[in-house]
Amino acid sequence: MNIPKDRSHPGSVRTDSKSVGLYLHIPFCAKRCHFCSFYLVTQEEGRIERFIRSLEIELALSAVQLDRAGQCVSTLYIGGGTPTVLSAAQLSQVLTRIATLYSVTDDCEVTVEATPESLSPEYLDTILEAGVTRLSIGMQTFDQEERASLGLSSTLEEAITGIRVAQQSGLPNFNLDLIYGIPGQTTSSWDRTLRQACEFEPTHLSCYALSVEEGTRFDVELRRGELDLVETDGERRLQVHATEQLAIAGYHQYEISNWSQPGRQCQHNRRYWQGQEYLGMGPSAQSYVAGCRFGNVANLVQYCQRLEMGELPVVERESLSVLQQDKERVVFGLRLLDGVPINWVEANKCDPVWAASFDSFLAGEYIAQTSERMALTSKGRQFADEIGYQLL
């Protein structure tokens, strides 16, 4: 692929690796679900058209950075919001623009998030032709009462129809997102959701514990005493149940919240867990490049205005020390079931407080050591957030 060399950009970012992951945040949804804390606005065609024009400007400006650094794109993840509120033609336009501007590897993983009700055979045919290799479908639950509790847009019947469309599309790789710890959820209803999900034979499954984030409807209801959450012990039982049932169904757990068929791990998300570089575009998108973490403005109007003036919409930037980078690499890497190399851990032991904390988890059998690696035990995975908090 030939990349034009005459683009200009005010400044550049120095990078240290040969490949990078791109993340595009599409900030539109038909409605906000009760648990969602991501930046989004309601869809409206004029807003979408302006956003796409601005995103194309950001893509062009950012391409200069990667071009100067000699980097290629090995993973692309389009999330949101709901990316599939864009028409198939609009989404294909964005993908074509990326293929024109960037050096993209032949085996680049291209993921698009979707709500099941947004999928049709015609839509999928178009975006597959444009280069999408993977879908991540936000199913969340196969229980109608739980769907209503979460504020999901589609009925169970509509959602199942959408999954069948994906299943029959010829798409080689698709993920189902599921949530456990939903108010009113029982082990029986969670078991039914897991079993129904497996019947569609997705190549990948993500199971996330419900988290009540500030500013969400669930947060408001919790403060009012109107929301009964599943207790921590009950949530852990649901987590263990998923681990047991998905193993029986033939799925390999490779990360605390993720299972896959052989060879179908999400390569983009592995970038995050392994401390590799990624570049985020779109309002509120976050990036990590050359030891620097930075983020875009979480406001669609300001995002568009900045780019229309030829400026990148970055509003926050933090340079991490080498020690901070090493700590984060261990904490995020421990989410993977195969853990981290021992030398990653040893690099942090110059901090005696950190070393003492890590050794206490090792002694308490929350972390296990082999000749070459350190990894969380099954007990440790149930307390991964608490362990990560202490080690950061």
**Burial class of residue 37 in the structure, from the number of CB atoms within 10 Å of its CB (0-12 exposed, 13-18 middle, 19+ buried):** middle
Cα 134 to the center of its chain, rounded Å: 13
> Stretch 50-67: mean pLDDT, rounded?
94
Q: What is the pLDDT of residue 3?
A: 25
Residue 16 has pLDDT above 80, yes or no: no
Q: What is the pLDDT of residue 1?
A: 28
Domain at 19-273, CATH homologous superfamily: Aldolase class I (3.20.20.70)
- In Å, the largest CA–CA distance within the chain is 60
Residue 11 has pLDDT above 50, yes or no: no
Domain boundaries, the chain: 19-273, 321-392
pLDDT-derived band at 17 (thresholds 50, 70, 90) equals low
Tens of pLDDT along 129-169? 999 999 999 999 999 999 999 999 899 999 999 999 999 99
List all residues 6 or more positions away from 298 whose beta carbon is below 8 Å from its beta carbon: 39, 283, 284
pLDDT-derived band at 65 (thresholds 50, 70, 90) equals confident
- Of 373 and 13, the structure prediction assigns the larger pLDDT to 373
Tens of pLDDT along 345-385? 999 999 999 999 999 999 999 999 998 999 999 999 999 99
- Which amino acid, residue 311? E
Residue 87 has pLDDT above 50, yes or no: yes
Q: What is the pLDDT of residue 66?
A: 87
Q: How far apart are the first and last CA of the chain?
A: 41
Please state, in angstroms and rounded to a whole number, the distance separating the CA atoms of residues 102 and 71: 9
Provide the percentage of residues in the chain whose pLDDT is more than 90: 88
Backbone Cα Rg of the chain: 21
pLDDT-derived band at 44 (thresholds 50, 70, 90) equals confident
> Stretch 295-308: mean pLDDT, rounded?
97
SS3 (DSSP) at 53 = helix
Q: What is the pLDDT of residue 15?
A: 38
Please give the DSSP secondary-structure letter assigned to residue 390. H
Tens of pLDDT along 167-201? 999 888 999 999 999 999 999 999 999 999 999 99
| Burial state string for 243-267 with b = 16 or more CB within 10 A and e = fewer than 16 | bebbeebebebbbbbbbbbeebbbb
Q: Which helix (H) or strand (E) holds 341?
A: strand 340-341
Please state, in angstroms and rounded to a whole number, the distance separating the CA atoms of residues 53 and 163: 31
Residue 4 has pLDDT above 70, yes or no: no
Q: Token digits for 279?
A: 């570049």
Tens of pLDDT along 253-270? 999 999 999 999 999 999
Residue 2 has pLDDT above 50, yes or no: no
Residue 9 has pLDDT above 90, yes or no: no
Yes or no: domain 321-392 corresponds to CATH 1.10.10: yes
DSSP H stretches of helix in 229-369: 232-248, 267-273, 300-308, 322-333, 342-346, 352-363
Number of other CB atoms surrounding residue 90 within 10 Å? 17
Among 9-13, 318-322, 361-365, the minimum mean pLDDT is found in: 9-13
How does the average pLDDT of the chain come out, rounded? Answer: 92
